[in-house]
Amino acid sequence: MLFLGRTCRTAAAATIALACLVAGCAPVADAIDAMSNGTAEDRTLAPGPAARALHDRLLVADLHADTLLWRRAISPTEMRRGHVDLVRMERGNIGLQAFTIPTRVPIGRSCISGRGPDPAGLLATLNGWPPGTRTSAYHRALHQASTLAAAAAASRKGSGARLSIIRSVDDLRAWLSARFPEPGTINRDEIGVILGLEGSHALNDTVGAELDALYRLGLRMIAPTHRFDNAFGGSSEGCDRYGLTMPLGKRLIETAIARRMIVDLAHASSGTLEAAVAIAASHRHPVVISHSGLRSFLERLPPCCNGEPMRGNTDAELVAVAQTGGVFGIGFWKEVLGTADVDYIVAAIRHALAVLEAHEGRPPPAPGLRTIKRASQHIGLGSDWDGAVRTAIDAGQVGLITEGLMAAGISQDRIADIMGRNVCRVVAQSLAGGSLTFDQALQLCNGG
């Protein structure tokens, strides 16, 4: 969700340069992090005993966090800034987390172009990243992927939470066995992570060596676009309007599916999303929208965000994702909720459920798509933690969503779907080593 206001960038650059001269760049990077990644709710707010009892038994998963962008990365100790660290992940009972790699920080909020200034290079400099990251999106991607690998390796040597990078169905099975060693028991120290790429512009307009290198580092989820159009596809916020269904984009989706990767359409334009869904359907491969909201939900609310555009997908796009067998991740920040508030997260989930329930049992419109049998099997969490947004809650407070869903009268089994079982199932269906059907993947993630 990263952005920088067009009117303030010159003053901001001058201020940052002066601050670096006075205090060094690392404190400046940390200050930007702290200002960019706040929470609306009191960090001490926690669910009540009944909700905690249920939440602590669940497989909890989140589809999108940009934590690798910041100097703290995935800290083993609790941080006073940001949304995610290992301590808060354990507190929130998060078992499976997608860490995604943003590599360009667009300027502006409407009609965004990838050909404009790129403040991500400045952030890389402030973070103290290697010199190549200052000018190359690809090198930023490599650095963030390497950061995750190093964090996972370090966690295996310590006494706290342990990170396992999930590259295959065998890895997923091993993580599930470690996290849930016996029926009714859970080992919070075992956390599975998925590495994703937020925007394929980092591949230097090729489907070749760059993708190969990132795949070797564990990349298993890929989005063709971020917040601007590129050679692989159109963005929902872009203004260049080239590459909506370019051959290179089709090749990327085909290659991702062949390599058994998760296809993420969170920032795709309607044309790119439609084309990608058609390709995925031809392979019976689910897709996800990792973090977003629904326009039909936002249209019911008073205007927010100081007149800035809010973000969301259409009901038809939600249904299309569900018909691939995929999952739609509900975001936690105001531009997709109207207000950064737990009650609004719950309301957005309920709205998405109602949209899908209206399509339950209907024959799919094309071969390769599925009939939606149960609406709750296609909704998940897509926080956008550490994405330079003010979210309702941080990673330690996810039980508040469970509490809200319980208060709304949603059954425990459907809550289990939404809070993480669906994400686990899509991972099991998508990754190499299993070729699992929807039902087989569901059984695996349900303790089978």
User: DSSP string covering 148-207, please?
Assistant: HHHHHHHHHHSSS-EEEE--BHHHHHHHHHHHSSSTT---TTEEEEEEEEE-GGGGTT-S
pLDDT digit string (tens) for 45-81?
999 999 999 999 999 999 999 999 999 989 999 999 9
**Count of all residues that appear for the chain in the document:** 448
pLDDT band of 255, cuts 50, 70, 90 = very high
Strand partners of residue 190:
162
What does the pLDDT read at residue 243? 43
**Distant-in-sequence, close-in-space partners of 104: CB < 8 Å, separation ≥ 6:** 114, 118, 120, 137, 199, 201, 202, 226, 228
406: amino acid identity, one letter: M
**How far apart are alpha carbons 23 and 247 in whole angstroms?**
49
Residue 333 lies in a domain: yes
Residue 241 lies in a domain: yes
pLDDT, the chain, mean:
90
pLDDT band of 372, cuts 50, 70, 90 = very high
Strands (E), 211-320: 219-223, 262-264, 287-292
pLDDT band of 25, cuts 50, 70, 90 = confident
More confident residue, 304 or 167: 167
Which H or E run contains 322?
Answer: helix 315-323
Phi, psi of 316 (to 5 degrees): -65, -35
Interval 213-223 mean pLDDT: 98
**How far apart are alpha carbons 34 and 81 in whole angstroms?**
5
8-state DSSP, 131? G
In angstroms, what CA-CA distances link 279 with 46, 195, 251, 283? 43, 22, 10, 7
**How far apart are alpha carbons 347 and 84 in whole angstroms?**
24
pLDDT band of 418, cuts 50, 70, 90 = very high
CATH of the domain at 74: 3.20.20.140
**Does the global pTM surpass 0.95?**
no
More confident residue, 326 or 271: 326
**How far apart are alpha carbons 448 and 442 in whole angstroms?**
8
Residue 336 lies in a domain: yes
Residue 58 lies in a domain: yes
Paired tokens of 40 = 């609306």
Residue 394 lies in a domain: yes
Q: Domain containing 265: what range?
A: 6-445
Q: How many domains does the chain have?
A: 1
pLDDT digit string (tens) for 145-197?
999 999 999 999 878 899 999 999 999 999 999 999 998 899 999 999 999 99
- pLDDT at 436 > cutoff 90: yes
Residue 1 lies in a domain: no
**How far apart are alpha carbons 87 and 77 in whole angstroms?**
6
What does the pLDDT read at residue 447? 80
Interval 377-394 mean pLDDT: 97
pLDDT band of 23, cuts 50, 70, 90 = low
Strand partners of residue 380:
329
Q: Which of 226, 192, 263, 257 is nearest to 69 (CA)?
A: 226
- pLDDT at 89 > cutoff 70: yes
**How far apart are alpha carbons 290 and 216 in whole angstroms?**
22
With both helix axes pointing from N to C terminus, report the angle between 438-445 and 169-179 in degrees, rounded to the nearest 10: 30
Residue 200 lies in a domain: yes
What does the pLDDT read at residue 105? 76
What does the pLDDT read at residue 442? 97
Paired tokens of 91 = 């507190």
